[in-house]
Amino acid sequence: MREMKELIQMSPGSRFSQLSEMRQTVRIGRMNPLDPKIPGHQEPMGLSGKEDILVVGGYGQVGQVVCRTLGEQFPGRVYAAGRDERKAGEFAAASEGTVKPLRMDVRDSGSATLLEQAALVVMCVDQENTRFVEQCLAKHTHYIDITASYDFLCKVRELGARENPKSTAVVSAGLAPGLTNLLAKQCTRVLEEVHSVELYLLLGLGEHHGRAAVEWMVDRLVDDFSLTVQGARHRVPSFGEGKAADFPGGLGRRWAYRFDFPDQHVLPGTLGIPSVSTRLCFDSAAVTRLLALAKKAGLLGLLRHPALRRTAVSALGKVQWGSEVYAALAIAEGRLGGRMVRYRCSVRGAKEHLVTGRVAAYAAKQIYTGACRPGVYHLEELFEPPEVIGSLGEGVVFEEAFEEA
C-alpha cells in the first residue's frame, strides 16, 4: 500500500498499468502538518504585527473543530467568537486556556475594531452581505470561509478584483465545496486531458446539523439551477436526472441526483474543466429515492410556502436517521498515454462537521504561518490535494482507480 504522494509521483503509464488491474486504497493522515515537529513547520509571522485568530461561530459544530485544531498549535491566540457570549465562554472554559471567548456580531459596524489585532478570521457562519469581508481585506486580516452559498462566493470573489485586497482570502474551504474541489484537481494532476468530471457526495443522515444548514439544504431541494456543460449553459432540475455511482468503502452502488453545490459552477473557471456536475445522495437509499420521487411529482415545490418550509426545517433538524458517514467521489473522463480513460478518486470518513473543520483549519494554518499573495482564492487554487487530505487524520481514507473509458 502506497501513500498518496508516492502514487502521484509515478509516471502516467505506470499508474495506469498498475491501477487498471487493482484498486489502491490509501490511508491518509499519518503525518499531521500542524505538528511542530514536522520539517518545514513555521512559527506565525503575523500580519502587520497582529497575532489573534478569530473563529466566527467558534462554538458551533464546525467552529469547535477549527478552534481546537488551531488552539493546539497556537494556544492563547484563538478566539471562539460569536453573538452568544455564554456559549463562547462555556466552550472556551473547556479548552483549558487554548481558546478564549469573544462576543462578536459581524453585522455590527463596531466589529471592525476587533480586526485591529486579528491576523486571521475563519468564518463558520453564513452572512447576508460582504461588508465584513471587505473590512478584513482592507485591514490586513486574512480570511477563510466555509460557506456553500454560491451567490456569496461570487460576491467575495469579485472583491479580489475590485478592492485591491491587502490580505489573502480563501473560500470553498469545507467538504463541498472544498474537498470536492480538490478531488477534481487531483483528476487534472493525473490525466493529461480532462474532458469532464462528475462529483458525487454521500451524506449520512445520522449526524445532527444546525438550523442554517438544514435551511440551506431545503432551499436547494426546491430550486432548479443552471450550469455550464461543454461551454454552454443548461437549466437542470435539482434532485433530478439521477445517476448510479459506485461509492468506496463498502457503501456500494447508489443513485445520486443533481444538487446545487458551488463546486460545479466554480471548477470550469479555476481548473479549466469543460463540464462539471455534482450529485447528492444519502446513506439511506429509501430517503434518497423518496425525495427524488417527491421532486418529480412537484411536491417539493410546496416548500416555497413559508409555513411549510418552517415545518420541514424544524422536522428535519430534529430527526436523525442512519449513520454519520460521508463520502466524496470524483469520476473524470479524459486522455492518458494516448488513450481515453476514466479515473476515479474518493475520500470517505465519518462526521461531516469534523472533516469540514479540519479542511478549514488546514487552510487557516497555512495562511497564518505562510506568505500568500493578496487576493481571493478558492481552495484548489492555493493548495494541493495530497497536502490537504494528508492533514485530515487517520479516519480519512483516500482511494483511486483507473478503467478504460
Task: Give tens-digit pLDDT for 119-130.
Answer: 999 999 999 999
Bridge partners for 328 per DSSP = 201, 347
Residue 39 maps to a domain: no
Confidence of residue 48 (pLDDT cuts 50, 70, 90): low
Residues 329-388 have pLDDT tens digits of: 999 999 999 999 999 999 999 999 999 999 999 999 999 998 788 999 999 999 999 999
Tell whether 241 and 169 lie within a shared domain.
no
Tell whether 293 and 331 lie within a shared domain.
yes
The pLDDT score that the predictor gives to residue 2 is: 42
Residue 159 maps to a domain: yes
Q: Considering only residues 325 and 20, tell me which one the structure prediction assigns the higher pLDDT.
A: 325
Tell whether 164 and 56 lie within a shared domain.
yes
Tell whether 320 and 217 lie within a shared domain.
yes
pLDDT (average), residues 14-38: 37
Residue 374 maps to a domain: yes
Residue 24 maps to a domain: no
Residue 376 maps to a domain: yes
CA 118 to chain centre: 24
- The answer, yes or no, to whether residue 39 has pLDDT greater than 90, is no
Residue 128 maps to a domain: yes
- How far is Cα 54 from Cα 70, in angstroms, rounded to an integer? 11
Bridge partners for 348 per DSSP = 327, 397
Residue 45 maps to a domain: no
The pLDDT score that the predictor gives to residue 239 is: 96
Residue 231 maps to a domain: yes
- The answer, yes or no, to whether residue 66 has pLDDT greater than 80, is yes
- How far is Cα 357 from Cα 65, in angstroms, rounded to an integer? 5
Tell whether 197 and 332 lie within a shared domain.
yes
pLDDT (average), residues 262-280: 97
Tell whether 184 and 159 lie within a shared domain.
no
Average pLDDT along the chain: 88
**Which residue range is the domain that position 221 belongs to?**
179-351+399-404
Tell whether 331 and 184 lie within a shared domain.
yes
pLDDT (average), residues 260-283: 97
HEC letters along the chain: CCCHHHHHHCCHHHHHHHHCCCCEEEECCCCCCCCCCCCCCCCCCCECCECEEEEECCCCHHHHHHHHHHHHHCCCCEEEEECCHHHHHHHHHCCCCCEEEEECCCCCHHHHHHHHCEEEEEECCCCCCCHHHHHHHHCCCEEEECCCCHHHHHHHHHHHHHCCCCCEEEECCECCCEHHHHHHHHHHHHCCEEEEEEEEEEECCCCCCCHHHHHHHHHHHHCCEEEEECCEEEEECCCCCCEEEEECCCCEEEEEEECCCCHHHHHHHHCCCCEEEEEEEECCHHHHHHHHHHHHCCHHHHHHCHHHHHHHHHHHHHCCCCCCEEEEEEEEEEEECCEEEEEEEEEEEECHHHHHHHHHHHHHHHHHHCCCCCEEEEHHHHCCHHHHHCCCCCCCEEEEEEEEC
**Phi–psi pair at 171, nearest 5 degrees:** -115, 175
How many structural domains compose the chain?
2
Tell whether 169 and 184 lie within a shared domain.
no
The pLDDT score that the predictor gives to residue 21 is: 40
Tell whether 187 and 316 lie within a shared domain.
yes
Confidence of residue 4 (pLDDT cuts 50, 70, 90): very low
Q: 319: which residues sit within 8 A by CB, 6+ positions away?
A: none
The pLDDT score that the predictor gives to residue 26 is: 39
pLDDT (average), residues 70-76: 97
CATH number at residue 378: 3.40.50.720
Grid cell for residue 337:
498515454
Tell whether 274 and 322 lie within a shared domain.
yes
Q: Is the pTM of this model over 0.95?
A: no
